[in-house]
């Protein structure tokens, strides 16, 4: 089972490594990290993931995973015809096409989410609508073969759900246990439906890396 994981400059590292962790525990998985030119991806905040391949070297995959990233990085990717062509090409024969966070904007821009419903980061709902898809508010959203997930950490939930689809519930349960995924968020403010206040939005937009 071949899994293609897109990596690129300005990507959010956790968007990629979140689903990577569960999928890489599968005995059957062959995961290839692919960047536009095969070079290293300098992620948001500066951490560097070295790709194993260039997009041109990956012709097909059973599973495609598209992480999100910073606004400037997304603009660069949306404007790169070779990247958009690659997403369409891999999607054509994939068994599952998946995104984390604003990775849904890349899939939508490539045209593969047209008339579909998709999850994305809560700040990107308008941008997703403008690209022809309907934002979903669930954390992991399944529409046909498209598994999309909300902001950053939602990719962990998506990866585990995907493991369940790929190899069955029994192994999925064991992977969740091996990852000790029994989260206790320290602040309880992770859900925009209950925690998004004007003050917090201002803090996020003005003081934090986005």
Which residues, 33 to 72, sit near its own copies by CB under 8 A? 33, 40, 44-50, 52
**Going residue by residue from 113 to 152, which x/- string records binding to its own copies, judged by CB under 8 A?**
--------xx----------------xx---------xxx
Q: CB 145 → its own copies: shortest distance, Å?
A: 18
Which residues, 67 to 106, sit near its own copies by CB under 8 A? 101
Considering the complex, state which of residue 89 and residue 139 has its C-beta at the smaller distance from its own copies: 139
Q: CB 199 → its own copies: shortest distance, Å?
A: 8
Count of residues for the chain?
210
| Contact yes or no for 1/163 (Cβ under 8 A) | no
Separation of alpha carbons 167 and 174, rounded Å: 11
Q: Which helix (H) or strand (E) holds 21?
A: helix 13-24
Q: CB 86 → its own copies: shortest distance, Å?
A: 20
Which residues, 153 to 192, sit near its own copies by CB under 8 A? 153-154, 156-157, 160-161, 164, 169-192
Q: Which residues pair with 117 in a beta bridge?
A: 134
Considering the complex, state which of residue 25 and residue 145 has its C-beta at the smaller distance from its own copies: 25
Considering the complex, state which of residue 81 and residue 180 has its C-beta at the smaller distance from its own copies: 180
Q: CB 115 → its own copies: shortest distance, Å?
A: 25
| Contact yes or no for 39/14 (Cβ under 8 A) | no
DSSP state of 121: -
Task: Return the axis-axis angle of helices 154-167 and 13-24, rounded to nearest 10°.
Answer: 30
Residue among 56, 60, 130, 204 that touches its own copies (CB under 8 A): 204
Separation of alpha carbons 8 and 36, rounded Å: 7
Structure tokens at 147: 């598994």
| Contact yes or no for 23/31 (Cβ under 8 A) | yes
Considering the complex, state which of residue 58 and residue 84 has its C-beta at the smaller distance from its own copies: 58
Whose tokens are 């989410």? That residue is 113
For residue 34, what are the CA distances in angstroms to 8, 12, 183? 8, 15, 30
Which residues, 13 to 32, sit near its own copies by CB under 8 A? 13-14, 17-18, 20-21, 24-27, 29, 31
Q: CB 79 → its own copies: shortest distance, Å?
A: 25
Q: CB 179 → its own copies: shortest distance, Å?
A: 5
φ and ψ at 112, to 5 degrees?
-85, -5
Work out whether 108 is an interface residue with its own copies (CB under 8 A). Answer: no
């Amino acid at each position: 089972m071949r899994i293609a994981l897109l990596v690129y400059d300005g990507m959010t590292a956790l968007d990629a490594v979140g689903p990577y962790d569960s999928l890489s525990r599968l005995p059957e998985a062959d995961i290839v990290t692919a960047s536009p030119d095969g070079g290293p991806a300098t992620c948001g905040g500066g951490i560097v993931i070295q790709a194993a391949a260039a997009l041109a070297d990956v012709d097909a995959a059973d599973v495609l995973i598209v992480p999100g990233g910073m606004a400037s990085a997304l603009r660069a990717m949306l404007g790169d015809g070779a990247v958009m062509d690659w997403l369409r090409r891999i999607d054509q024969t994939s068994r599952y096409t998946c995104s984390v966070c604003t990775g849904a904007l890349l899939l939508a821009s490539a045209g593969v989410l047209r008339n579909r419903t998709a999850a994305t980061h809560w700040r990107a709902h308008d941008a997703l609508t403008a690209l022809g898809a309907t934002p979903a508010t669930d954390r992991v959203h399944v529409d046909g073969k498209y598994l999309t997930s909300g902001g950053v950490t939602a990719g962990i939930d998506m990866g585990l759900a995907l493991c369940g689809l790929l190899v069955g519930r029994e192994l999925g349960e064991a992977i969740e246990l091996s990852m000790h995924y029994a989260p206790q968020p320290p602040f309880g403010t992770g859900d925009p439906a209950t925690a998004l206040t004007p003050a917090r939005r201002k803090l996020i937009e003005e003081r934090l890396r986005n």
